[in-house]
Amino acid sequence: MAEPLFPSFFIGGFECSTHLRRDRRRLDMSASTAHDRWAYEDYARLGTVGIRAARDGIRWHVIESPDGRRDWSSAVSMLRAARKARVRVVWDLLHFGWPDHVDPFSPEFVPRFEQFVRGFLPVLGDETDETPYLAPVNEISFLSFAGGEEGFFNPFAKKRGDELKGQLVRASIAACGAIRSVFPAARLVHTDPIIHIIADPRRPQDRRRAENYRLSQFASWDMISGREHPEIGGDPSFLDVLGLNYYIHNQWVLDDGVVVPSHPQHLPLRYMLREVRERYGRPMFIAETGIEDDVRPSWLHYVGKELRGARRLGIDTEGICLYPIVNHPGWEDDRHCRNGLWDYADANGNREAYAPLADEIRRQERLFADERAAAEADDERFDRTEWAVLDEAARHIDEETARSRS
């Protein structure tokens, strides 16, 4: 039996986005959550709920100045904090943001990113003797769609989605080659949303378009692995570990609203996992999942239930990353997003836990550790109240997402 990817089934994901808002304000979630200041305390706190693995990121815009000089001190402090806390971290190398002096559409983008990654590797080697876990470019599919095609997200381009996707894929491939040249055993993690899209039953003519849209979720992974457009340098060995990002609004009707969890045409998560496994045969984990407010325990209940259902289908998933693990200010409006396990830090780095979610994490840990108990628990269906809570949350998020994108 292969060794598990992570030392714990649950993983704590620290929001580390660094992109520009539409008003040109730079986001830096590591700073705005004070995680950069309290990294050791945050990593050590994971252990109170049995978590010994994390997702986090280094910040290109903080490290590199316009003249090309790089100050790695921000990354070093995070690496040392993780080592001291004995937490295995998947490090994102590009999480939605790049320095102001970098143009993602320029011919220089790919070599600049590769140089940045090559500069990081000796720093990483100096600070750890463990196998590195590195995610070159976070959510290529979403970033290409939102920032290159629809223009509501950094870099705010329209009708250039395929162009941006090509740039990001090439950057990821270049990073993979650089990483493997220094760390041959490094684990390369590629994260993207998994989605399900259906046509309105009243518009059967839309079925092919809906299916093509749905299949586009695999495009970046296909190119990284060399299945598609092999001329850009993809290689099967680069598609190492798949990080699947799944939220309550990842299923929708083409050109319409969300498909709520209780809807007859809502596809259970376990079958989405099965498709990914059958398509690629690679290790995979839920790299992001979460929701806001009081629905947090119910959503984790659903996700855990579905992963255990996938196990009974013979589809193993290596873990669940609670994303984010600490609350953060809203990207667009700085509102207090209560979507994590822990809240904002006080003056001493302490964070108050949301007890119902902590209790559900511990319950899920027990169920994943005890297959018999899990089978009995998963035989119990959600009651109507719990489904209704999830459905209402899905509709609310769908409305807020549409408002934000407009």
Q: Is there a domain that residue 330 lies in?
A: yes
Q: In the predicted model, what is the mean pLDDT of residues 90-111?
A: 98
Q: Is there a domain that residue 2 lies in?
A: no
- Alpha carbons within 13 angstroms on the beta-carbon side of residue 316 total 11
Tell me the average pLDDT of the chain.
96
User: For residue 140, which of 180, 92, 107, 184 has the smallest C-alpha distance?
Assistant: 92
17-35 tens-digit pLDDT? 999 999 999 999 999 999 9
Q: In the predicted model, what is the mean pLDDT of residues 211-229?
A: 97
> By the 8 A CB rule, do 371 and 316 touch?
no
Could you tell me the CATH number of the domain that includes residue 398? 3.20.20.80
Q: Is there a domain that residue 5 lies in?
A: no
> By the 8 A CB rule, do 242 and 276 touch?
yes
Q: Look at residue 1 in the predicted model and tell me its pLDDT.
A: 58
Per the structure, the count of domains in the chain is 1
> By the 8 A CB rule, do 362 and 355 touch?
no
33-79 tens-digit pLDDT? 999 999 999 999 999 999 999 999 999 999 999 999 999 999 999 99
Q: Is there a domain that residue 309 lies in?
A: yes
350-385 tens-digit pLDDT? 999 999 999 999 999 999 998 777 777 776 677 788
> By the 8 A CB rule, do 11 and 53 touch?
yes
What share of the chain in percent tops pLDDT 70? 99
Q: Look at residue 217 in the predicted model and tell me its pLDDT.
A: 97
> By the 8 A CB rule, do 73 and 38 touch?
no
Cα angle 290, 296, 297 (rounded to 5 degrees) comes to: 120
Give the pLDDT band (50/70/90) at residue 300: very high
- The residue with tokens 């090559």 is 118
d(CA 196, CA 217): 9
User: For residue 96, which of 135, 63, 140 has the smallest C-alpha distance?
Assistant: 140
Total length of the chain: 406
What domain range is 157 assigned to?
A: 10-213+239-405
235-267 tens-digit pLDDT? 999 999 999 999 999 999 999 999 999 999 999
Q: Look at residue 41 in the predicted model and tell me its pLDDT.
A: 98
CB under 8 Å to 73, separation ≥6 — which residues? Answer: none
Q: Is there a domain that residue 265 lies in?
A: yes
Q: Is there a domain that residue 230 lies in?
A: no
Residue 406 DSSP code: -
Q: Look at residue 373 in the predicted model and tell me its pLDDT.
A: 72
Q: Is there a domain that residue 224 lies in?
A: no
User: For residue 234, which of 173, 279, 181 has the smallest C-alpha distance?
Assistant: 173
Q: In the predicted model, what is the mean pLDDT of residues 178-206?
A: 97
Q: In the predicted model, what is the mean pLDDT of residues 186-209?
A: 97
> By the 8 A CB rule, do 36 and 65 touch?
no
- pTM of structure: 0.96
Q: Look at residue 376 in the predicted model and tell me its pLDDT.
A: 73
3-state secondary structure of 372: helix
What share of the chain in percent tops pLDDT 90? 93
129-170 tens-digit pLDDT? 999 999 999 999 999 999 999 999 999 999 999 999 999 999
> By the 8 A CB rule, do 92 and 50 touch?
no
3-state secondary structure of 234: coil
Q: In the predicted model, what is the mean pLDDT of residues 221-248?
A: 98
Q: Is there a domain that residue 220 lies in?
A: no
Residues paired with residue 12 on neighbouring β-strands, in sequence order: 54, 322
d(CA 211, CA 204): 12
Q: Look at residue 380 in the predicted model and tell me its pLDDT.
A: 67
